[in-house]
Every structure is written in structure tokens, then in C-alpha cells.
Amino acid sequence: MKDLNGRLDLCSINTATLGYQLPIGQTIEAVARAGFGSIAPWRRELEGESVKIVSRRIRDAGLGVSGYCRSSYITAESTMQFSNAIEDNRRAIDEAVELGARCFVMVVGGLPKQSKDLAAARQQVHDGMAQLLEYASEQKMPLAIEPLHPMYAADRACINTLQQALDLCDALDPSQGCSVGVAVDLYHVWWDPDLEAQIKRAGRDKRLLGFHLCDWLVPTNDMLLDRGMMGDGVIDIRSIRHWTEAAGYAGSMEVEIFSRDNWWQRPVAETLAICAERLQTVC
């Protein structure tokens, strides 16, 4: 396993970690100044900005783009809403291309309103992904399905395990064209008894497109916005990182921490410094 000590160039900051406190231009400067090699911006930060200019700023700062966050939800109440979601995601894929992102991160959506039919929602995801994959392949933008923790099955993503995400990849891309894969986020998958085997499978099939780090706090006070800094929780980060690298992952170690009451309240430079320190000492 790579030693991250002195190798922040291998590491990335997902901008959600900084609580969107600064305009994207300043965020880019701060991430570069802290020594990181890459950044993963959110789409909401690019609203009203020229994607071309943001892309140039990122390159000028010497940063790569480990991923572009993220899809709008595919699951939908109506055909119209579904079509709009596909259309919107096509535009996001264009942006990801403009940014030179390594992948476009897909959070697929949970149950449509009024629905209790998880199987139907999952079928919608398959169908929508098939349409998007065709488009993304033409643009040569890999789609990274991010399985979300099962506690988000209803309201954020009905793809909830790495196995399920990889089964979906196989259904969409049986020839392993490297156009669709997974983003492995520790927060979502750390509990999974099948994790090691599925990471190995993902590596073998060239599906490992992203690796996101944070920690699981005990207790967790908010189901969405109380993620921990690496080292402050119970995830055996080093083992999972080892499995992932052994499976062939060579991309960035991307920090992504949603933490409304702690890290988002701190100055950006402080959070970045602590991310850097933890990546080099506990990950």
C-alpha cells in the first residue's frame, strides 16, 4: 500500500468537506495551497459560473479533478420528471468533461414520492443509467455509481451495496468497457461483511473509479451531516484502503466529510490542514 506521508499529491478534497463556505475560485486556491493534488467540486458551486473558467482555474492551480459531484436523482414520479432528470444529467456530464473530471459521480435517487416499490425504483435506475451511459461513453466520461448507505434507501439512493452497484455495472456494461464503475465511499460501505470480496471484484473488472474517505462517529447525531474526520471514528480505514489498492485502484484518496456542526463551522484552512495531517498519519 502506498505511504501517503509527503504524498498529498495523491489526495483530493471533495469540496463538500469545506461546507461551501467560499466561492469555488477561493476554494480551488485553498485546496491547492494546502498541497493537495486534486479537487472534487460540486455542481451547486458552479451555478452561475463559467465551467470553462472554473476548469482553467483548477488547471492553473495545478489540481486534477478526482470526480464531479454529482448526478441529479434518476428515480422519478412521472415520465416527464424522469426525462428531465436524464436531460439534466447529460448537461452535468458535459460539465464533467469540460472540467476534465476522472469520473461523474452518480447518486441515483431513492423511492419516488408516494412509492413503496423499491424494485421499480431500481429498474428506473437501470433504465436511466443505460441512457446516460450511451451518452457518457460518447463523451468518454466514466460514470461512477456510488452505492449509498442503506439508511438512505428511501430518500437518496436505492443502490445500497457495492455488490448491487457492481451487478448494475455488469448489466449495463457486460463487456467491461471501463465506461461505468463505482465510487467506494467508506461511510456507505464500511459495515458490509462482503466488502473485501466486492472490492476485489470491482478491481478485477476495472470498475474502481473513486475512493472517498471520512469516518463513522459513535454516536452519530445526524443521519446526513455528522460524518467524522478520518481517525475520529470506528472505520478501519487502513484495511479498506489496502484492499482497494491491492485490487488495482490507483486514483485519488478523496476526502468527503459532511459535518454541519463541526468541520463546516471551522475555517477552511484549518479543516484542510487537519485533512492533510490525518491522511498522512491514520489512513
Q: Which residues bind a copy of itself (CB under 8 A)?
A: 111, 115-118, 122, 149-151, 153-155, 158, 160-161, 164, 190-193, 216, 218-220, 223, 233-236
Based on CB atoms, which residue is closest to a copy of itself, 103 or 235? 235
C-alpha cell recorded at residue 174: 457486460
Based on CB atoms, which residue is closest to a copy of itself, 63 or 166? 166
Residues 6+ apart with CB under 8 A from 145: 106, 108, 129, 159, 165, 168, 169, 180, 181, 182, 183
Nearest CA among 146, 42, 18, 169 for reference residue 95? 42
CB of 159 to a copy of itself, least distance (A): 8
CB of 83 to a copy of itself, least distance (A): 24
Tell me, rounded to whole angstroms, the distance of Cα 274 from its chain centroid.
20
CB of 156 to a copy of itself, least distance (A): 10
CB of 247 to a copy of itself, least distance (A): 18
CA angle 128, 133, 136 (to 5 degrees): 125
Based on CB atoms, which residue is closest to a copy of itself, 63 or 237? 237
CB of 80 to a copy of itself, least distance (A): 22
Question: Measured between alpha carbons, how far is 36 from 51 in angstroms, rounded to an integer?
Answer: 21
Based on CB atoms, which residue is closest to a copy of itself, 93 or 162? 162
Residue 147 C-beta-side C-alpha neighbours within 13 Å: 28
Based on CB atoms, which residue is closest to a copy of itself, 36 or 243? 243
CA angle 9, 215, 108 (to 5 degrees): 85
Based on CB atoms, which residue is closest to a copy of itself, 137 or 164? 164
Residues constituting the chain: 283
CB of 220 to a copy of itself, least distance (A): 6
Residues 6+ apart with CB under 8 A from 168: 125, 126, 129, 145, 159
